[in-house]
A and B are shown apart, each in its own frame.
Chain A
Amino acid sequence: MSYEIVARPHQQNFIDWAKDKPEVLVLSADLTNSCEVGKWRDTYPDRFFSMGMAEQNMMGFAAGLAREGFEPWLHTFSVFLYRRPLDQLQMSIAYPSLKVRLVGFLPGIMTPGGVTHQAIEDIAILRAIPNMTILEIGDATEAQSVLDVAHAVDGPVYIRMLRGEVSRIFLQDEPFILNKARILSTGTDITLLTSGIATEEALRAIPLIQARGVSVAHLHISTLKPFTDPTVVMALKSAQRGVITMENHSIIGGLGSAVAEVMAENGIGVPLQRIGLKDTYAHGASQKFLMSEYELDAAALIKRVEVAIGKSLNIQGAELQEQRSVSVHSSAKVEAL
C-alpha cells in the first residue's frame, strides 16, 4: 500500500485554521521555519512572538499570556519543550492548568541530530505531570485535525508533531478524536497498539502476518493521556495470545507502560511485549537505520508476533512493503535535521 505524501501538512493548515482565532498566538524559540511556522509569522506578524533560544522564559511568557486569555502555541523541537524547562512547564503552566499548546517536532528517533535532538522519554515525563494532555500524530490527517482537538482542551496540551513529507494514512474526513483509538483491523490472537510513526511501519507487516493466519487486532493510539478509552480495554481483553505495543519512544513510560497499567488494572493476563527503545539513548543517523538498529521496524514486529504465537511465520524481508524513507535532504524540510 502506498500513501499520498503531504508536504508540510502543518504549514498552510495552521494558517487557515488560525485566521478567525485572534486569541491564538505563536511563540517560537529560533526554530520557526524548522517547525513550519515561518509563513504563519509572515501572515500574522502581530500574533507571532520570537522568544529566542530561551525556553524557560518562553514557558513563563506563555503562562502569562494564557492567564490573560490568549492561547499561545509554542513551536520548537520536542526535546526543548520538556528537558531544560521542565520546572517552568510544571509550575508556570501545568499547575494552573493553562491553555498553552506545546507543539513538539522531531519525536523519538526521527532526526539525525542525535541524542540532543531525540525526544525519547518525553511521553514518560509528561505523562507523570498532572493536568497534561498528550497527543501524538500518526499521519497528515492527524497533523491537521489535531488543532481543533488541542484547541478544545481547557488545560495544557503537548503534541508530538510530524513535519516535512508526511503520509496520509487516515481519510481526511476521519479526524483526530480525543481519547479515541482508531481500529485499523480486528482480530483475536494478538492485539497490537501502535502510535506515531510506528503505525505506518506496522502496516508494512500486518497484511503478511494476517496472510499467515494470525488474527491481529490493530489499534492506532493518538491520545497518550488521558488513556481511558474503553475501546482499548475491550481490544486488550480480546487478545488470546498476547499484546504488543510499538512506539517511537522508550519502552519505559510511554504507550507500552500505559497499556501495561490498563492490563494490570483490568486483570488481563496475557503476555505483553513492548517494542520501543529498550532503555537506551540513540545516536545521530537516518530514521531507517535507527529503526532497524534499535528494532523498531516491521521486521521487529514480525519477530514479536512469532514469539507470541510460538512459531515462525517464514516471512522473508523481500515480502515486506518497501519502507518509506524520507530523504534527509528532502526539500520539505528547511534543514537536514
Chain B
Amino acid sequence: MGANEAAIEAIEKIARGIRQRVLAHSIANNGGYMSQACSSAELLATLYGGVLNFAPVHEPIDPPIFIGVPEIGVHTYKTGAQFHGEKGAQFDRLISSPAHYALVIYAALIETGRLREDGLEHFNRDGSTVEMIGAEHSPGFETTTGSLAQALSQAGGIALARKIRNEAGRTWVFMSDGEFQEGQTYEALQAAKFHGLNQLRVTVDVNMNQCDGPMDTVMRIEPLEDRIKAFGWDVSVLDGHDIPAILAAAEKVTENPHMLLCYTDPVRGLPILAERIPTLHYLRFTGADERAKYQKAYQEMSK
C-alpha cells in the first residue's frame, strides 16, 4: 500500500467513526442530527484528517465546563479553537458555520485525537460546553454561528487580518448549502473577492436538504457553481464522499478565494434513513420499533 492509499484509508476510518458515533449517540438519546453526519462524514474527515494544517494537541482534550459568557473585560475563557491546537501564522484555521453540525464536529475531533472519547457524554448536558448547537466555547468552534450565514463574513475578517500580517496559513470555512439562501453569504463572497482573500477556502456540504425538506421545495439555490463563479471565486465541484477528489481540490493553489462545492448524499452509509425522506433535518424516532431498526443498522455498520 502506498503512502497516499494509507492516508486515504485513515480518512475513511475517521469517516466511519463519525457516522458510528453520531448514530450511537442518536440511538442513546432518541435523536440527533444524523443526516448531517451521513452527508458530511467524508468531507469533515478529509478536512480534519488530511487537509487542515493544525498544530498538534498532545493528548485528547477534556471539554471544559461552561464558565460564563464573554463580558466586557472578561475574556478568560478559551474558545473551542483550542481543540485545533495553538494558533500560529503558518497554521490553518477552521471556522465551522452550521452550528447544528456540532455533534458531527465533536465526533470528528474524537476520531482525530483532539477531543476525549468520553467528551460526548457531556453533550447537551446542563453546564457543559459540548452544546447541541455549538457556540464559540464548544469544542471545535471559534465563533458563534448558530444564526446561520454569519461565519463566512467573520472568517473573511480573520483572513483579512492574516493577509495584513502576511501569514501563510489558510483560513477555512465549513458551510452548509442552506446558507446560500441568506443574503449575507453573497455580501461576504463579493467582499472576499474585492479584498483579494485568496487564502480563504470554503467547503460546502451540498446535501440539498434543509429543515423544511428538500431545498428545491423550500427555496432553490442552483445553479450554485455559476452563482459563486460570478462573484469572482474559483469553484471546484466534486463528490463530497470522494476523499481523493476533496484532497486534490483542497490543495489547489488559486489566485482567488476558493470554494469546494461538495455534493453529498444525506443518507450515505445509513440506507434506512431514506425511509424518512423528505424530512431528514433531525432524526427523532417514531417509537421503540424504529429505534430497534436503527440499533440493528448500527450493529451492521460496526461490523
Contact = CB atoms under 8 A, between A and B. Distances in A.
Interface of A: 46, 49-52, 54, 56-70, 87-88, 91-92, 95-97, 130-131, 133, 153-155
Interface of B: 69-75, 136, 143-147, 150-162, 164-165, 183-184, 187-188, 190-191, 194-195
Given A61-B191, A131-B72, A68 B153 contact: no
Nearest to A61: B157
B150 to A, nearest CB: 5
Contacts of A64: 153-161
A57 B153 CA distance: 5
Contacts of A130: 69, 71
B153 A60 contact: yes
Contacts of B157: 60-68
Nearest to A97: B70
A222 B183 CA distance: 36
Given A66-B157, A95-B69, 5 more contacts: A52-B194, A57-B188, A67-B143, A67-B158, A95-B144
A41 to B, nearest CB: 15
A63 B146 CA distance: 15
Nearest to A66: B157
Given A57-B188, A63-B157, A155 B72 contact: yes
Nearest to B182: A56
A49 B195 contact: yes
Given A61-B153, A62-B157, A91-B144, A96 B136 contact: yes
A153 B71 CA distance: 11
A54 B159 contact: no
B162 A88 contact: no
B153 A70 contact: no
Contacts of B150: 60, 87-88, 91-92
B153 A96 contact: no
29 contacts: A50-B194, A51-B191, A52-B187, A58-B153, A59-B153, A60-B150, A60-B156, A61-B156, A61-B157, A61-B191, A63-B143, A64-B158, A64-B161, A65-B157, A65-B158, A65-B161, A67-B154, A67-B157, A67-B158, A68-B157, A68-B158, A69-B161, A70-B164, A87-B147, A88-B184, A92-B154, A95-B144, A96-B70, A131-B72
B153 A154 contact: no
Contacts of A92: 143-144, 150, 153-154
Contacts of A66: 157
A319 B74 CA distance: 53
Decide if the interface of chain B is mainly helix, strand, loop or mixed.
helix
A56 B185 CA distance: 10
Contacts of B195: 49
A57 B192 CA distance: 10
A155 B146 CA distance: 21
Contacts of A133: 72
B82 to A, nearest CB: 14
A154 to B, nearest CB: 4
Given A63-B154, A65-B160, A97 B188 contact: no
B191 A68 contact: no
A66 B158 CA distance: 8
Given A52-B191, A56-B153, A92-B150, A70 B161 contact: yes
A154 B75 CA distance: 9
A155 B147 contact: no
Nearest to A69: B161
Contacts of B188: 57, 60
A107 to B, nearest CB: 23
Nearest to B72: A155
Nearest to B185: A57
A225 B91 CA distance: 39
B161 A68 contact: yes
Contacts of A154: 72-73, 75
Contact of A56 (B146, B161, B183): B183
Contacts of B187: 52, 54, 56-57
B138 to A, nearest CB: 13
B143 A68 contact: no
B99 to A, nearest CB: 10
Contacts of B190: 52, 54
A68 B160 CA distance: 9
A217 B224 CA distance: 64
A223 B71 CA distance: 18
A55 to B, nearest CB: 9
A127 to B, nearest CB: 14
Nearest to B147: A91
B209 to A, nearest CB: 24
Q: What 5 A-B pairs have minimum CB-CB distances, sorted nearest first? A: A64-B157, A60-B153, A68-B161, A57-B187, A155-B72
Contacts of A46: 164
Interface centre among B71, B73, B157, B183 (most CB of A within 10 A): B157
